[in-house]
Amino acid sequence: MRDFHEQQGDDARNAFAGSLAKALGISADKVNEAFAQIEDNHKTRFAAKLASQLGLETAQVRAALEKLASDGPGDPGAFAETLAAELGVEVEKLEDAFDALRPDPGAMRHEWQGAAPLRHLASALDVSRAELRKALREVRAGADSGWAQREAELKAFLAERFGLSAEKVEDALADLPRPERGPGPGWHHGPGPGGPDGPGR
C-alpha cells in the first residue's frame, strides 16, 4: 500500500489541487502553497508537543523526524527504536511520549474532518469558509470517476505485486473498512482501502 501511494500520491494531490483551484477561480500554485503551509504547521506543532514530552528542543525533534522521513518508510515496528536512537533517548521514554500524545479517535476525526482544517485551509487560500465548502462540493461531485480509476489501478498493482488474480484482490479489498472522505488528498485517508498516509507519517 505504501509503495502504491508513493507512486500515485503526487498525481492525486496535483489533480485535487487543480480541481479545487478551478472551482475557486485561483491558481493551482496557490492551492499547493496552502497545502504545504498547513502541512508544515502540523509538523511543527507535532514536533513541539513531542519535544515538550521529551524535554528536548523542537528543532532537534523535527530534524530527527525529517531525517527518518527522508530515509523512506522502513520497518514500522522499528520506528520508535530508530527515532529514539536519533534523539538520544530511551525507547521506553519515547513510547511513553507517544502514548501521551496519541489523540482520542473521535478527537482526531474532528480535527481532520471538522471545522479546524476547513478554517485553516480557507485562511491559507484567502477565501471564506462558505466559498471553500462550495468549491469542495464541486470537486467531490466530479471525484467519483477519478476514484474508481485509482481503485482499479490499486487492484492491478496488488495483483501484480503478489502474483494474484484480479478477482482475489477485489474480494480482499471488499472486506476492508472504507474510511469517510476528508477535504482531499493529504488531509485524511481518502475513500476506499489504503488511503494516503495521515498526519505523523
Comparing 16-20, 29-33, 51-55, 146-150, the range with the smallest average pLDDT is 146-150
In a domain, 142, yes or no: yes
Residue 183 lies in a domain: no
First to last CA, the chain: 14
Considering the domain boundaries, does residue 85 fall inside one? yes
182: its cell numbers: 476528508
pLDDT over 70 percentage in the chain? 75
Mean pLDDT of 37-53: 91
Does residue 194 lie in a domain region? no
Q: Which of 21-35, 110-124, 134-148, 160-174 has the lowest mean pLDDT?
A: 110-124
100 closest CA partner among 51, 40, 38, 43: 51
For position 144, what pLDDT does the model report? 59
Per the structure, how many domains does the chain have?
1
> What is the predicted pLDDT for the residue at 166?
87
Q: Which three cell numbers stand for residue 81?
A: 527504536
Q: What's the whole-number mean pLDDT along residues 61-70?
A: 91
Q: Which residue has the higher pLDDT, 57 or 116?
A: 57
101 located within any domain: yes
Residue 127 forms part of a structural domain? yes
pTM: 0.62
Least reliable range by pLDDT among 80-94, 106-120, 161-175: 106-120
Range in 20-29, 128-137, 177-186 the model is least confident about: 177-186
Q: How far apart are CA 98 and CA 164, in angstroms?
A: 37
Domain range for 21: 2-174
Compute, in degrees rounded to 10, the torsion defined by CA atoms 143, 145, 146, 148: 120
Cα–Cα dist 8/11, whole Å: 6
Spatial separation of the C-alpha atoms in residues 21 and 132, rounded to whole Å: 10
Mean model confidence pLDDT for the chain: 79
Query: Does residue 189 form part of some domain?
Result: no
Confidence of residue 145 (pLDDT cuts 50, 70, 90): low
Looking at per-residue pLDDT, the higher value among 198 and 1 belongs to: 1
Task: Give a yes or no: residue 108 inside a domain.
Answer: yes
